[in-house]
Chains A and B, each alone.
Chain A
Amino acid sequence: METQEKEFKSIEVFNVTSDIYSQAITGELIGMSNFATLAETIDDPHEKMEAVEHADSERRHAEGFMAYAKKLGLNVNINLKGSYWNRIREQFLNYAAKKDFIACIIIQEVMLEAFAISMYTDAGNALGGASKKLFLSIAEEEKEHMDHSVELLQEELHKDPDTFIKKFEGIHFNCMTILSEFSARTDLKGHCGVCNGDCMKNALHHVNLNVDSLRGNALALYAKALDTIGIPGEKSIVWIAKLPA
């Protein structure tokens, strides 16, 4: 590993790059698990197959990140039980247990994907080189997932706007609160259990990133997705403003 570390400008860059990959891989594995769970809850055979296919695509993303991390000799730490990721997973499992397919889609395909797409884009652009290509191409695939689900949710909203928006609001506060605590300037609920050593947020500047723009871009993409689904902007702004920060 020592030889690999030399490819990085500094030990700080090596560490923060390792942490970015650790988060990405852990996130993909959470996504994979979520879709696998979803497949369990679905009765319709076609939708079941689609969920498995999605799970497999998240698995491939995780593998892609893992392979490249290995090549770079990064110090990767995968931890699905890390506090934030685990709480998000638990929220997902809650809705899955109730066979609430729409809620599961909202959590995985809107909330988690908005953060993934935005942060992969920012991280890819900041890391540059082959990492950039990898992050951006995965972000592109995640975007397709998201667009597809947004269409489905538009139809759902159309059927009964009031009920749908109420439901979305509940899910927002259950899940986005966790993502918001996770992406706040300081880990609001303690160490994430994924980063090596200290929280990587303190070291993002070594790769020309900062937590405000990562978080701002992610929430902006989330807000845009909500706009496209058809949730009134005056509602979503209040939801977002009330997230812990």
Chain B
Amino acid sequence: MRTSELEELPISKIKAIYDYIPPRGIFKMHVKSLTGIETNGLYIDTFIAPDKLNAQNLRANIQKVKDAVKVVHHLNIKMAILGGFTSLLLEGNFNDFEDYDMVLTTGNSLTSAYVVKGLEKAAREHGISMSESNVLVIGATGDIGMACTNYLKGKVNRLLLCARNMNRLKTFGQRLLDEGHEVKYSSDLSELAPEADLIISVASSSEIAISSLKPKVIICDAGYPKNLEEKVEKVPGVFLFHGGMGQLKHGYSFNPDYTSQFYRYPAPHLGHGCIIEIILMAFEGIKENFSMGKGNITSEKIDLMYELSLKHGIELAPFYNSDGILEASKNNSTT
């Protein structure tokens, strides 16, 4: 008898044909809430290879995302989160799925919540005052970048905003200036980085390099690919953590259990904010799309999601980066 269920999925063996594979479920998830509620989910992969995420393949990739949503529909699953680059490909636009009788979200409200709450916590632990800090947002015109910026405006000394497209950046920056906030924006990171006390990196880019930093800077890296650490000037005192993550105190399980392959983190039961958002929507029976489009995430949505997260026993992930758990978090990293 074959026991394929218990064996590892040899993804490396299908490398050559990876992006031919139609979107499909890969493993089931089971999650528990602090309140005692339990729910099940299915992880569906679009099978878009990372090296195919380019303009040339845009149409094919969008089609794969749509096919993945169709899989959800065929399986009669009533809610889904379009995680990672899938919502980026659709720019958070769910119009094509209106006939599916399905609730959708990009998961970006809770991701943003974990980013800003994580930054606030790190600042607190390092004795840095938010209101006196200059906060740099790299990827400021993105959905998460705008949400974080809007959340932080009025709470910090100065906002430093960075993105490549100057038109979009200017529109957004000017709006904040008009609202009376201290804002500086530039598409040249080196003009902003030297002033920053706190940095949020939420750009989908592997090209970001940060240098000329102040001595004690806190960096929350929530973007993908995760290679910012290699590109940050090695200054002692820089505290860089991977943000946008929560920790499910009551655990989760995967079937088949691919945690050793897909979901390997230095602390138990970590999850992406976006995925946890749909879990909370399931726990709470939310029957409407939650995060969608671009630039629609309000501070109220962020706070609501964060409250729900705590209610169900899902907390901010301990601070970690690719070296493992960071000192400040060591005492509360285990469950």
Chain A positions within 8 Å of B, measured between CB atoms, are: 169-170, 173, 185, 212-213, 215-217, 219-220, 223-224, 227, 232-243, 245
Contact = CB atoms under 8 A, between A and B. Distances in A.
Contacts of A223: 21-22, 24
B14 A241 contact: yes
A170 B4 CA distance: 11
B256 interface: yes
Contacts of B26: 233-234, 237
B25 A232 contact: yes
Contact of A241 (B13, B19, B42, B71): B13
B21 A219 contact: yes
B71 A240 contact: no
Interface of B: 2, 4-5, 7, 9-11, 13-14, 16-17, 19-22, 24-28, 42, 44, 71, 74, 256
A27 B223 CA distance: 50
A95 to B, nearest CB: 18
Given A213-B20, A215-B17, 8 more contacts: A216-B16, A219-B17, A220-B22, A227-B71, A232-B25, A234-B42, A234-B256, A242-B4
B17 A242 contact: no
A223 B5 CA distance: 18
A217 B21 contact: no
A240 B21 contact: yes
Nearest to B26: A234
Nearest to B24: A233
Q: Nearest 4 pairs between A and B by C-beta?
A: A233-B24, A216-B20, A216-B17, A220-B20
A227 B21 CA distance: 11
A208 B7 CA distance: 38
Contacts of B5: 235, 238
Contact of B27 (A185, A234, A243): A234
A110 B146 CA distance: 49
A173 B74 CA distance: 27
B86 to A, nearest CB: 16
A233 B24 CA distance: 5
Given A173-B2, A239-B4, A227 B13 contact: no
Contacts of A233: 24-26, 44, 71
A234 B24 contact: yes
Contact of A224 (B10, B22, B28): B22
B10 A212 contact: no
A185 B11 CA distance: 17
Nearest to A243: B13
A220 B21 contact: yes
A220 B19 CA distance: 9
Contacts of A224: 22
B4 A227 contact: no
16 contacts: A212-B17, A213-B20, A216-B16, A217-B20, A220-B20, A224-B22, A227-B24, A233-B26, A234-B256, A235-B5, A236-B24, A238-B7, A238-B256, A240-B21, A242-B13, A245-B17
Contact of B4 (A169, A213, A216, A219): A169
A238 B9 contact: yes
A220 B11 CA distance: 15
A214 to B, nearest CB: 10
Contacts of B7: 238
B25 A169 contact: no
A184 to B, nearest CB: 9
A245 B16 contact: yes
Given A169-B4, A173-B2, A242-B4, A237 B13 contact: no
A233 B45 CA distance: 10
B20 A245 contact: no
Contacts of B74: 227
Given A216-B16, A220-B21, A233-B24, A169 B9 contact: no
| Most central of A227, A235, A237, A242 by chain B CB within 10 Å | A237
Contacts of B44: 233
A20 to B, nearest CB: 20
B25 A234 contact: yes
Nearest to A244: B13
B16 A227 contact: no
Contacts of B22: 220, 223-224, 227
A215 to B, nearest CB: 6
Contacts of B256: 234, 238
